[in-house]
């Protein structure tokens, strides 16, 4: 109850509230804040403003009753299903200024809607995030990666927004896998409203989670606060598309600071939706370029669990030839025939070497003897011609 009230009095991640709770416990911290006993002037002002409109303890009781009707629950660090990775936020320090970058401490509690256990859902999880105004390219890549991750038994985590987030959730559901939506509002507030049906499917098959009590509004700054949980709770994060000013880029800043796997999908250099991705790749060597599911799996899996083959073109028979055989084959004219003496002159090899290599090339069906000379074999014609 005290943790719920504290989350209402101060936005999640507040450094002072978290430190006081860690040292004195949540009930004592709540008493101190309500009495004005805290060292942060901004926090004192926020508490005074909010307690002037409502009683935080009664609000906490009302939130629990509302959650019970909804079928949701509140999880705190003392519970067995608490996702332990988020505790690493206690050491997160960011260079950028501003309250949101300063107050990045772990959640005091998490509201959960869905039947899956929170810790198990995040144990093998990858976040897939990106632009709301996603392009067809971004949706295609996201679907391939998220579907494949779900097939391989990885939970797909995202923020429930339009665009890349929604594509990631839908792909995981289509694969019969587990997906988690980390919200910036109450778990009973579908936002955006256009994704209401998607949120219901996620609640049935996966999890909806939030730091804010049921009924909380999706205020703009809460999306930026929420992003630190996505970064901390997962093994790694894939950014598919991101504009120059993007919440996905801000999420990746936290991923890199926490030393999680930071993966970025490149896009067309002419696309405004890939500017943020390319900036991330240029700015930080720890950001890994990925272009397909196999490369993502290689990054997040255990050593030797997955292996991504290097892309290469179609293999030709001549690729396996030794250097001398390749020189002889290259000397054979594209049209007509040539004598062994002519081939030796063109290839710069002795006649004896050319004769020996021609026997090997003939056995491999790369050359044929015709009209008293050596020629290339006729090209295979398509059936029916």
Over residues 57-97, the pLDDT tens digits come to 999 999 999 999 999 999 999 999 999 999 999 999 987 76
The confidence band for 380, taking pLDDT boundaries of 50, 70 and 90, is: very low
Output the pLDDT for position 277. Answer: 97
Q: What is the mean pLDDT of residues 39-57?
A: 92
Whether residue 250 is predicted with pLDDT greater than 70 in this model: the reply is yes
Check: CB of residue 256 under 8 Å from CB of residue 281.
Answer: no
According to DSSP, the β-strands at 110-113 and 72-75 are antiparallel
CA distances to 71, 172, 333 from 204, in Å? 11, 13, 68
- Here the tokens at position 259 are 């030393």
Output the pLDDT for position 226. Answer: 97
Q: Is the dihedral of CA 64, 69, 70, 76 positive or negative?
A: positive
Whether residue 383 is predicted with pLDDT greater than 60 in this model: the reply is no
Q: Write phi, then psi, for 266 (nearest 5 degrees).
A: -75, 160
Three-class secondary structure of residue 188 per DSSP = coil
- Beta-carbon contacts of 23 under 8 Å, excluding residues fewer than 6 positions away, are none
Write out pLDDT tens, residues 13-31.
999 999 999 999 999 999 9
Domain with CATH 3.40.50.450 in the chain: 71-300
What number does CATH give the domain 317-375?
1.10.10.10
Residue of 280, 250, 282, 243 lying closest to 263 (CA atoms): 280
We find that the CATH architecture of domain 71-300 is: 3-Layer(aba) Sandwich (3.40)
Whether residue 351 is predicted with pLDDT greater than 80 in this model: the reply is yes
Q: What is the mean pLDDT of residues 247-251?
A: 94
Write out pLDDT tens, residues 190-229.
899 999 999 999 999 999 999 999 999 999 999 999 999 9
Output the pLDDT for position 312. Answer: 65
Domain with CATH 1.10.10.10 in the chain: 317-375
CA–CA separation, 153 vs 297, rounded Å?
11
Whether residue 376 is predicted with pLDDT greater than 50 in this model: the reply is yes
Residue of 220, 193, 212, 17 lying closest to 102 (CA atoms): 17
Output the pLDDT for position 310. Answer: 64
Write out pLDDT tens, residues 90-120.
999 987 768 889 899 999 999 999 999 999 9
Q: Which neighbouring-strand residues pair with 368?
A: 375
* % of residues, the chain, pLDDT over 70: 95
Check: CB of residue 292 under 8 Å from CB of residue 227.
Answer: no
Whether residue 134 is predicted with pLDDT greater than 60 in this model: the reply is yes
CA–CA separation, 306 vs 294, rounded Å?
7
Kindly report the pTM of this predicted structure: 0.85
Ranges of beta strands (E only) in the chain are: 72-75, 110-113, 125-129, 155-158, 179-182, 207-210, 236-239, 261-264, 288-289, 368-370, 373-375
Whether residue 313 is predicted with pLDDT greater than 70 in this model: the reply is no
Output the pLDDT for position 319. Answer: 76
Output the pLDDT for position 275. Answer: 96
Neighbours of 34 (CB within 10 A): 17
Q: What is the mean pLDDT of residues 255-276?
A: 96
* % of residues, the chain, pLDDT over 90: 84
Output the pLDDT for position 381. Answer: 45
3-state helix, strand, coil in the chain (%, to 5): 50, 10, 40
- Here the tokens at position 112 are 């959960």
Three-class secondary structure of residue 276 per DSSP = helix
Whether residue 39 is predicted with pLDDT greater than 90 in this model: the reply is no
Could you tell me how far CA 183 lies from the centroid of its own chain? 16
């Amino acid at each position: 109850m005290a943790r719920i009230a504290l989350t209402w009095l101060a936005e999640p991640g507040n450094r002072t509230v978290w430190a006081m709770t860690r040292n004195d416990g949540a009930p004592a911290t709540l008493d101190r804040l309500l009495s004005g006993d805290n060292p942060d002037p901004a926090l004192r002002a926020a508490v005074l403003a909010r307690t002037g409109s409502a009683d935080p303890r009664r609000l906490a009781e009302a939130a629990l009753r509302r959650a019970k009707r909804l079928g949701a629950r509140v999880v705190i660090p003392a519970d067995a299903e608490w996702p332990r990775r988020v505790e690493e936020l206690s050491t997160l320090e960011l260079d950028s200024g501003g309250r949101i970058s300063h107050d990045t401490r772990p959640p005091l509690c998490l509201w959960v809607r869905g039947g899956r256990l929170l810790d198990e859902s995040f144990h093998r999880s990858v976040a897939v995030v990106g632009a709301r105004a996603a392009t067809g390219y971004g949706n295609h890549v996201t679907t391939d990666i998220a579907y494949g991750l779900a097939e391989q038994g990885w939970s797909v985590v995202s923020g429930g927004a339009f665009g890349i987030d929604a594509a990631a959730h839908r792909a995981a559901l289509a694969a019969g896998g587990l997906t988690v939506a980390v919200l910036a509002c109450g778990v009973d507030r579908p936002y955006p409203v256009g994704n209401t049906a998607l949120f219901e499917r996620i609640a049935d098959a996966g999890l909806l989670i939030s730091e804010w009590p049921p009924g909380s509004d999706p205020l703009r700054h809460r999306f930026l606060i929420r992003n630190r949980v996505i970064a901390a709770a997962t093994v790694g994060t894939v950014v598919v598309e991101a504009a120059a000013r993007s919440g996905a880029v801000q999420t990746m800043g936290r991923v890199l600071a926490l030393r999680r796997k930071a993966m970025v999908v490149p896009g067309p250099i002419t696309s405004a939706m890939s500017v943020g991705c390319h900036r991330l790749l240029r700015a930080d060597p720890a950001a890994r370029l990925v272009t397909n599911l196999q490369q993502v799996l290689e990054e997040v899996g255990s050593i030797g669990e997955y292996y991504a083959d290097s892309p290469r073109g179609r293999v030709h028979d001549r690729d396996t030839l030794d250097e001398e055989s390749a020189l002889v084959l290259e000397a054979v004219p594209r049209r007509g025939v040539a004598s062994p003496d002519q081939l030796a002159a063109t290839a710069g090899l002795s006649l004896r070497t050319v004769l020996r290599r021609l026997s090997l090339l003939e056995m491999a069906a790369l050359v044929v003897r015709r009209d008293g000379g050596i020629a290339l074999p006729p090209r295979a014609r398509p059936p029916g011609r």
